[in-house]
Amino acid sequence: MAIRDKYDLEDLKNETEEFVFQELEKQLDAISDDDICKCQDCVLDMICLSLNQLPTHYRVSLMGTLYAKVESHELEDQISKVVADVIMKVSQNPGHA
Ligand SMILES: [Zn+2]
């Protein structure tokens, strides 16, 4: 039985992803486009590196749209630090010339 064929997995969401997207958006908006590269490759790198360092929080979203809200300040701080660190790492060593 193929789980993916039998069940609709669209509603399965990793909330950490939403938090990382929001935090990355906030932090990137605060940095001028002239200072760091914000291309597709670099931003995807930033997302991967951030998510690999953070705990996952999966849940089933039945509302379709997920209005993510960070419940723990500890997690909020952790995400903010990881994202800031990753932005610096990727912008100093982009995966392209
Ligand atoms: Zn780039």
Percentage of the chain beyond pLDDT 70 is 90
The confidence score (pLDDT) of residue 69 equals 58
| CA 78 / ligand 1 centre spacing (Å) | 25
**CA of 32 relative to ligand 1 center, distance in Å:** 14
More confident residue, 6 or 66: 6
> Per residue in 38-65, pLDDT tens?
999 999 999 999 999 999 988 887 664 5
What is the DSSP track for the chain? Answer: --HHHHS--TTEEEHHHHHHHHHHHHHHHTS-TTTS---HHHHHHHHHHHHHHS---EEE-SSSS-------HHHHHHHHHHHHHHHHHHHHS-S--
Question: 7 C-alpha to center of ligand 1: Å?
Answer: 37
Q: How far is the CA of 83 from the centre of ligand 1 (A)?
A: 16
The β-bridge partners of 31 are none
Q: How far apart are CA 61 and CA 66, in angstroms?
A: 7
pLDDT-derived band at 88, boundaries 50, 70, 90:
very high
Ligand 1 mean position to 70 CA, how many Å?
Answer: 29
